[in-house]
Amino acid sequence: MEDIFKELQKLGFSPYECKAYVGLLKVHPVTGYEISKRSGVPRSMIYEVLGKLMDKGAVHLVPSEPVKYSPVPAEELIDRLRKQFDQSFSYLEKKLTMLQREREMDVIWHIRSDDLVLQEMGEMIARAEKELWLSVWEPQIPVIQESIERNLREGVHVFSVLFGAPEAKIGATFHHDYMTPDVVKDRTGGHLTIVARDGEEVLIANFSDESTSWAVKTHDPVLVLVATEYIRHDIMIEEITARYGPEKLDDLWRNHPDLIHVVTGKRFDEEES
């Protein structure tokens, strides 16, 4: 019997409530006095205990003279409690996860070394469920290729901008041909690499031969959006170049001081020198 009482207490019943309910299951309907005598709940507390059991939906009052009490059948009570707890779990799962995500949005993780950055890239790629946006360089492609192929088989939409790997394909692939990899590397100080998934998470990394490779990872929706838009714009530039030719794109910016700064990161007078 003590085991039954322990399990009921886990569901929110007090020790006296356990005794009164189990006592009623054995004999009912009975008066409060009889329940007290049979269950061992003190007479001074029995009516308070019965009132709490009624609030829990575990006991019915039977109109009579004197008033008697009857238990809600065990199967009905258990079914009701199960539904209540399922509702509570569903509510808490939703709300607590939202609170956790709000906190995660404020956090930016910093990662250093090639191995750790590549490991984080692989794990983020594996978490993709809907779509994946990539801007990666030739040395990183073999490391992530297997995970990407698995994503494609599972129906994840993959869009990639690839640097320096003319034969490689990763999902919907766009090769960064307008500017050579060396020019981009010089402008960004390394192999600037981006992995963004599902509009929820982004990793921005820079692999370098001259210094320790680094990355930042975050769920911040603003940074996820900015990184994804960066890849979208690169894709469109490559498509425009493929359609209209690099000469027309050159004409657009090479004699425009402000656009020179936008494209190359250098001011017009620096270009001249």
CATH number of the domain enclosing 49: 1.10.10.10
Q: State whether 124 and 202 are in the same domain.
A: yes
- Expressed as residue numbers, the domain containing 63 is 2-72
Tens digit of each residue's pLDDT (9 = 90 or more) over 195-240: 999 999 999 999 988 888 999 999 888 999 999 999 999 999 999 9
Q: State whether 38 and 122 are in the same domain.
A: no
Q: Is 29 part of any domain?
A: yes
Q: How many CB atoms lie within 10 A of CB 180?
A: 12
Q: State whether 28 and 131 are in the same domain.
A: no
Q: How many CB atoms lie within 10 A of CB 63?
A: 7
CATH number at residue 213: 3.30.870.10
Q: State whether 22 and 153 are in the same domain.
A: no
Tens digit of each residue's pLDDT (9 = 90 or more) over 71-117: 999 999 999 999 999 999 998 888 887 776 665 556 788 999 999 99
Q: Is 252 part of any domain?
A: yes
Band of the pLDDT at 249, cuts 50, 70, 90? confident
Contact at 8 Å (CB) between 150 and 122? no
Q: Is 32 part of any domain?
A: yes
pTM comes to: 0.60
Q: Is 85 part of any domain?
A: no
Q: State whether 9 and 124 are in the same domain.
A: no
**Side chain identity at residue 140, one-letter code:** Q
Using the 3D structure, point to which of 45, 72, 99 is the last residue of a domain.
72
Q: State whether 178 and 244 are in the same domain.
A: yes
Contact at 8 Å (CB) between 25 and 73? no
Tally the domains of the chain: 2
- Mean pLDDT, the chain, as a whole number? 89
Q: Is 103 part of any domain?
A: no
Tens digit of each residue's pLDDT (9 = 90 or more) over 22-81: 999 999 999 999 999 999 999 999 999 999 999 999 999 998 889 999 999 999 999 999
Residue partners of 112: CB distance under 8 A and separation at least 6 = 212, 213, 214, 215
pLDDT (0 to 100) of residue 39: 93
Q: State whether 198 and 249 are in the same domain.
A: yes
pLDDT (0 to 100) of residue 173: 95
DSSP string, 248-273: HHHHHHTT-HHHHHHHHSS-HHHHH-
pLDDT (0 to 100) of residue 52: 94
Q: State whether 226 and 117 are in the same domain.
A: yes
pLDDT (0 to 100) of residue 44: 94
Q: State whether 139 and 30 are in the same domain.
A: no
Q: Is 80 part of any domain?
A: no
Share of the chain above pLDDT 70, in %: 95
pLDDT (0 to 100) of residue 67: 92
